[in-house]
Amino acid sequence: MIWEPTREFIEQTNVWRFMRRLGFEDREAFLSFSREEPERFWDELMREMHVDWFTPYRQVMDASRGPEWTRWFTGGRLNIAHNCLDRWSVDPHRIACIWEAENGARGELTFASLQADANRVANGLRRLGLRQGDRVALSMPMSPQILPIFYGCLKAGLTLVPIFAGFGSGAIATRLQDSGARVVFTADHLERRGKRLPLAEKIPPIAEHTVVVGSEPLFAGESEEFETVALDAEERAFILYTSGTTGNPKGAVHTHAGALAQTGKEIFLGFDHRAQDRFFWLSDIGWMMGPWTIMGNHLFGGTIFLYDGAPDYPTPLRLFEMIERHGITTFGISPTAVRIVARQLADAGGLPEMPSLRILGSTGEPWDEAAYLWFFEHVGRRRCPIINISGGTEIIGAFLFPLPIQPLKPCSLGGPAPGMAVEVVDESGTPVRGRTGYLVCTEPAPSMTRGLWQAPERYLETYWSRFPGMWYHGDWASVDEDGHWFLHGRADESMNVAGRKVGPAEVEQAMLQHAGVAEAAVVGVPDEWKGEGIVGFAVVRPGATVDPAAVCTTVAEILGPMFRPREVRLVAELPKTQSGKIVRRLLRQKYLGEPLGDLSTVANPSVLEP
């Protein structure tokens, strides 16, 4: 164990107080209750989080149409914007957001001023002819201007469609066309590493209206008064796009009640929200973690920190200097981003002390132990637990995360999150322990996507057909002898070497044991003798010299000779999505000389050029 909470720490947490109110002192008993009595759990949690309803719900869950189409909080009427904005705006001094731009500009935004701006947006969209249920796209920098648009749309009962601003025009067009967005908000440009990157000119003329947001207030002539619409609990709030294995993005549909329940639960129980917190997750509004950060914290009137810029500009210390400068208490980041910064900071002793930090967070991919320990020791100073969460866009939250009251092993995700009936199963759907299996969810949860936008059959095929009655998430996972849960990469990326399956993350972690390797990725390729062979790609640490054959030997020594890569190629960078995930599919296609197809979802496509 690397983290052991003290009794004093435990008894100060939200989850401990919630457990005690329900009559639990044992964490596992509480988690079992949350899975076995979902109606009572979610009802009690909504009360504990003080979710405010215009009309109370009559029933917590209605699974009469089957688990795939479960409806939640039926009969209830609420609005995310009322819960996350309106009720906090009565305090003129309460800070909703502090922000900093790459060029050093910074500022803050109160809930009161944000409400006035959001009301103008809602009135302006109504004047454009938009009505409840219409879609509004948002492709912008991670700047404070996103917040009035975010809440203005929700106030008016419009559906938000966040789109990553780093996409190419083709990817943006696909999402605008699929969603049927009538309005798209954008900005003239992004700023990265001191350079202006065009944004507005990438927006194709598909929507009826394209609004380029500048420094002046949006819809400045509109009224600052707007009555937030009371919406059915199942009313659509977001369409969040995620990558599809067919190359066509999937539009995950999320509701006002479901999104609020899940994001609030995770900030409250997992990240132990407190009134004085300042919450910073390195993200983009086009990635699920952007809306997640906003809603989950603002439900409690909390303060979020937004940064728009490169994480290592002008120096690799940028993130940590901002944490110290702004008194950030909770900081989340992807493992890949940690590896990149750690590689640049050979002397970790140069990091600021960051005494304000209380809790660390991570998501996006499996950790390797070296990067995890660097984050724990040098950023958290061994005093902050890492709340490592895993779920996805399809549930706007996590299936797995550790509670802050439990001991932690390196790279662990703790276990099933409260209210999530998660299991690890074998090919037949039977639960397994001590070996790798498939991650599934055996019961519905409020934030599961209500189908896929305009593709109900694809939704059933993708998530509910592999194991009937279970949500199949597509991840490899395992539970060790002490009950700690771990992820091992995507199951659809697994390799079958001479009849033995292995996930890419396991081989990559072995490659990272070589002292000169900073980042690693592996793919499976056709092999005459083994059926499938392993090819590795390694990024070398600055100043190091790496013999590819020695990396192969390291893997063989750790995993056994069967899993020795047949080749390791040294590369300057690995292709990644905007959220930092390595795109192994493209590495495989390039290695085999196959067409790469659309690269619009890749943040650094130049690494794939000849």
Spacing of C-alpha 418 from chain mean position: 18
Q: Residue 216 has what DSSP assignment?
A: S
Contact at 8 Å (CB) between 449 and 459? yes
Task: Round to whole Å and give the CA distance between 223 and 243.
Answer: 39
Task: Round to whole Å and give the CA distance between 531 and 548.
Answer: 23
pLDDT band at residue 537, thresholds of 50, 70 and 90?
very high
Least confident of 116-125, 234-243, 490-499: 490-499
Mean pLDDT of the 364-369 span: 84
On the question of pLDDT at 61 being above 60, the answer is: yes
Q: What is the CA radius of gyration of the chain?
A: 23
On the question of pLDDT at 189 being above 90, the answer is: yes
On the question of pLDDT at 153 being above 50, the answer is: yes
State percent of the chain over pLDDT 90: 78
- 3-state secondary structure at position 124: helix
On the question of pLDDT at 54 being above 50, the answer is: yes
Q: How many CA atoms lie within 13 A of 249 on its CB side?
A: 26
Contact at 8 Å (CB) between 228 and 155? yes
Least confident of 25-29, 371-375, 402-406, 490-494: 490-494
Helices and strands (H and E) in the chain: how many: 17, 30
Task: Round to whole Å and give the CA distance between 415 and 399.
Answer: 9
607 is written with which tokens?
């690494």
pLDDT band at residue 412, thresholds of 50, 70 and 90?
very high
Q: Could you give the C-alpha distances from 492 to 104, 244, 467, 489, 601, in angstroms and in order?
A: 42, 12, 15, 9, 19
Contacts 24+ apart (CB under 8 A), 314-320: 314/194, 316/341, 316/344, 316/345, 317/345, 317/350, 317/351, 317/352, 319/282, 320/351, 320/352, 320/354, 320/379
pLDDT of residue 498: 67
pLDDT of residue 245: 46
> Is the pLDDT higher at 75 or at 488?
75
Task: Round to whole Å and give the CA distance between 12 and 2.
Answer: 20
Mean pLDDT of the 102-119 span: 97
Contact at 8 Å (CB) between 421 and 448? no
Average pLDDT, whole number, for the chain?
A: 93
- Strand ranges of the sheet holding 159-162, from the earlier edge strand across to the other edge: 209-213, 183-187, 135-139, 159-162, 236-242, 250-255
Mean pLDDT of the 372-390 span: 96
Spacing of C-alpha 265 from chain mean position: 15
Query: How many CB atoms are located within 10 Å of the residue 259 CB?
Result: 25
Residue written as token pair 């640049």: 344
On the question of pLDDT at 393 being above 70, the answer is: yes
DSSP strand pairing (231-232 vs 77-78): antiparallel
Query: How many CB atoms are located within 10 Å of the residue 43 CB?
Result: 16
Mean pLDDT of the 132-137 span: 98
DSSP strand pairing (71-74 vs 59-62): antiparallel
Residue 67 backbone phi and psi in degrees, to 5 = -60, -30
Q: Residue 55 has what DSSP assignment?
A: B
Residue written as token pair 């059933």: 460
Q: Could you give the C-alpha distances from 538 to 161, 512, 577, in angstroms and in order?
A: 36, 9, 18
Residue written as token pair 């890749």: 602
pLDDT band at residue 207, thresholds of 50, 70 and 90?
very high
On the question of pLDDT at 23 being above 70, the answer is: yes
Query: How many CB atoms are located within 10 Å of the residue 308 CB?
Result: 24
Cis ω for the linkage preceding 314 (within 30 of 0): yes
Task: Round to whole Å and give the CA distance between 371 and 379.
Answer: 11
For the stretch 324-339, pLDDT in tens is: 999 999 999 988 789 8
On the question of pLDDT at 26 being above 90, the answer is: yes
Query: How many CB atoms are located within 10 Å of the residue 368 CB?
Result: 24
pLDDT band at residue 585, thresholds of 50, 70 and 90?
confident
Name beta bridge partners: 495: 502
The whole-model pTM stands at 0.86
On the question of pLDDT at 169 being above 90, the answer is: no
Q: Residue 247 has what DSSP assignment?
A: S
On the question of pLDDT at 246 being above 60, the answer is: no
Mean pLDDT of the 422-447 span: 95
Q: Could you give the C-alpha distances from 194 to 305, 306, 308, 317, 510, in angstroms and in order?
A: 21, 18, 12, 16, 37
By residue count, the chain amounts to 610
